[in-house]
Chains A and B, each alone.
Chain A
Amino acid sequence: MRNAIARRTFLKLAGGVTAATWLPRRASAQGPIRIGFTLSATGPYAVGAGITQRPNYDLWLDQVNAKGGLAVAGGGRRPIVFVEQDDRSELETIVRSYEKLVNDDKVDLVLPPWGTAANFAVAPITNKAGYPMIGPTVGSLKLKDLNLPYFYAILAQPDAMMLSLANFLKDVKRQQKLNKVAVIYVNDLFGLEHHTALMPLLKEGAFEVVEEKSYPLGVKDLTDVLKGCKAKGAEILIGLSYPPDTILMTTQAKAVDFNPPIFYTAVGTAFPFFRDRFKGSAEGVMGVGAWNPKVSFPGAKAYFDAHVAKTKKEPDRWASAFAYASLQIIEESVAKVGLDRAKIKAHIDATEFTTVAGPIKFAKGVNPATPGMVGQWQKGEFEVVWPPERATGKAIVPKPNWAD
């Protein structure tokens, strides 16, 4: 503890000295723009954070600073620096860090942490301090209840996502008479909310639900559940799953020879890892999403290439592009209205943005401009197959058999 205090004192002194030498030179006191956030480098959130947010933050920082910095309305370009730390996937650490970022460090802007739970924990703090924050990895309808005007969720939310899936299934049903649905969902905010949104839609579509089971986060075996689905003749499997269970479900479905005409899993399906892991067996697997470099939005292909060049790996085919889009929105807003955070918020509320993930326009903190979408792995690309106006490919139903 004594060390920590000494270090803080030292930092204050050092900061004072730096400021003292800095101020006379630049009367406007304009250093770099400080952007604060935490991301999980360790702990269970590290997998998702490392795929969907970290690469995009780094890429954006490089790109902006290569241009000479972030353009600020009326103030020219100023370089950006990140004020960041590893939050160890601990909600208490995340909350404490953001309190410090907005109250002590008084950073210019904040970026969100990874995941629905972390964003939920932090949003009330940043909202109260008047920092606009756009979460690219947030999926929950409860968000609206919190009534946080400075917080935005950029992904299609559970209601929109499940509506799109249900509409797709109805379309398939008309053509192919697929009717028996099995729904398996992770017992966690994500799975529960999507499940709640999906079931009435299936009922409305007059589907026969032959199996409806939840499983806990960190599940190690789904063979029995999948055998049950197979025995009950499920033609459509819907897994409302997180990355490890998405992989588990797919592996084990293959291992018990369960190959329904529609095989849909949720988070993780859109990761390039999924394709590389399953190779030929990924063909025809559907999932929540979607985005790929073939979409017609300006800058999409350039973003894809820059991501690969910077990180040596492809962006995931869902939330990555939206994470980058949220940075584009901040960049554009600062260029238009400067660093006054209330003005940035007003600009975000009033503007339809053009991004690599398509047009984005917020209403009451969510982004209805992006519809829910269904993706499907086809020959190495995660094609958008629904809704038709967003499609980059045509759905393959029934899915081919698992490859050997």
Chain B
Amino acid sequence: MNLALILDVAAGGLLLGGLYALIAVGLNLQYGLLRVLNVAHGEFLMLGGYLTYLLHVNAGMDPLVSLAVSVPVVFAAGVLVHTLLYRRLLRQERTREELEANSLLISFGLLFILQNAALLVFSADMRGYQYLDRPLRMLGTVFPTNRVVAFAVAAVVTALLMLFLRGTLTGAAVRALMQDPVGARLVGVRVPRIHALCFGLGAALAAVSGSLLSMLFELTPFVGLPYTITALVVIILGGLGSVGGSLLGGLILGVVEALGVYFTAPDLRMVISYGVLALVLVLRPYGLFNSMARRPGQAEGA
């Protein structure tokens, strides 16, 4: 076995894993805090991708610069969606099961609306552009430049989010709400505002991922759902509600997929990722890195 080649393949997996992580962190932020499983997450990703595409192709804006537009726009859209659809639902919350079921229905509806709206506006035609698609030679091998750039941006954004959660008062409020909603309310955390912020942030992170992915892959109105599913695998892998877990889960999934595919066949990619998922579910049902793992008896009161 050629060690250099294996490292090369693993590095390729790491690059894609960085993007998986970014997508999953956004979804996990929403789920961890609001207990809202937003299956339309990939649709916000799709919107971010189309915004970047439009700005790049029509206005000649650099895709990375376009983040300055796509992120605030999708953040605002996320806050709006939260205000219009989820706020009332969260206020009326009776049991967690009811909330999860109802929010799932809402996000399915949202998925269809956003997808079909994109279909009306952009049609089903594939959209894409060339950006930094030249080889980048580093560490004695060759990588597509745009993948390395996308990974770097994803890493920076994830790091910023972690800093925000750990280093700011608002971030502390978010973490407090995740750990103990009742306690957080008691010490004066303004729950609706934090909820709106986190839903918006989740959507904005999806938009960043979408903008980055538009540099690598073609866009259609249907690109979102597969990423939502990958993100679900990642957050289950890393632990529901654990941002750090999602980060590591994404990277691990990327590397395991790349190596697994290299040693078997590209056809088996899905088998490999679901295999990893099944293994984790059997061995560590609350995820690999879930520091807040609830023990079965504790789950109901949380």
Contacts and interface: CB of A to CB of B under 8 A. Distances in A.
8 contacts: A46-B119, A50-B125, A216-B269, A221-B12, A224-B8, A224-B258, A243-B126, A251-B133
A380 B222 CA distance: 29
B113 interface: no
B267 A216 contact: yes
Q: Which residue, B126, B144, B262, has most C-beta atoms of chain A within 10 A?
A: B126
Contacts of B146: 255
Nearest to A50: B124
A62 B28 CA distance: 51
Interface residues on A, range: 35 or more
B70 interface: no
Nearest to A44: B222
B291 interface: no
A257 B130 contact: no
B114 interface: no
Given A216-B266, A257-B135, A247 B116 contact: no
Interface in A199-247: 213-216, 218-225, 227, 243-244, 247
Contacts of A252: 144
A42 B126 contact: no
A255 B262 contact: no
A188 to B, nearest CB: 10
The 5 closest A-B pairs by CB, nearest first: A255-B144, A46-B124, A215-B266, A257-B135, A50-B124
A51 B127 CA distance: 13
A128 interface: no
A260 B8 CA distance: 22
Contacts of B265: 213-214
B164 interface: no
A224 B261 contact: yes
B218 interface: yes
Contacts of B266: 213-216, 219, 222, 225
A215 B126 contact: no
A247 B267 contact: no
Q: Which residue, A219, A223, A255, A404, has most C-beta atoms of chain B within 10 A?
A: A255
B130 A277 contact: yes
B126 A273 contact: yes
Contact of B119 (A41, A215, A216, A257): A41
A255 B217 contact: no
Contact of B135 (A49, A50, A247, A255): A255
A224 B267 CA distance: 14
B267 A223 contact: no
Interface of A: 41-44, 46-47, 49-51, 187, 213-216, 218-225, 227, 243-244, 247-248, 251-252, 254-257, 273, 277-279, 281, 404
B226 interface: yes
A368 B166 CA distance: 69
Nearest to B136: A255
Contacts, number: 98
Nearest to A215: B266
A221 B16 contact: yes
Given A46-B119, A277-B130, 16 more contacts: A41-B119, A42-B115, A42-B222, A46-B124, A46-B220, A51-B125, A214-B265, A216-B270, A220-B16, A244-B126, A244-B218, A255-B134, A255-B143, A256-B135, A256-B142, A257-B134
Nearest to A218: B226
A281 B119 contact: no
A255 B145 contact: yes
A47 B135 contact: no
B72 interface: no
Q: Which residue, A187, A216, A221, A223, has most C-beta atoms of chain B within 10 A?
A: A221
Nearest to A230: B142
A248 B217 contact: yes
Contact of A254 (B123, B129, B133, B267): B133
Contacts of B145: 255
Nearest to A252: B144
Contact of A247 (B125, B128, B222): B128
Contacts of A257: 134-135, 142
Nearest to B144: A255
Contact of A187 (B12, B126, B267): B267
Contacts of A43: 222
A224 B9 CA distance: 7
Nearest to B141: A227
A41 to B, nearest CB: 7
Interface in B244-298: 258, 261-262, 265-267, 269-270
Nearest to A187: B267
B267 A50 contact: no
A91 B9 CA distance: 37
Contacts of B261: 224
A44 B143 CA distance: 30
Contact of A404 (B134, B217, B218): B134
A255 B134 CA distance: 4
B181 to A, nearest CB: 37
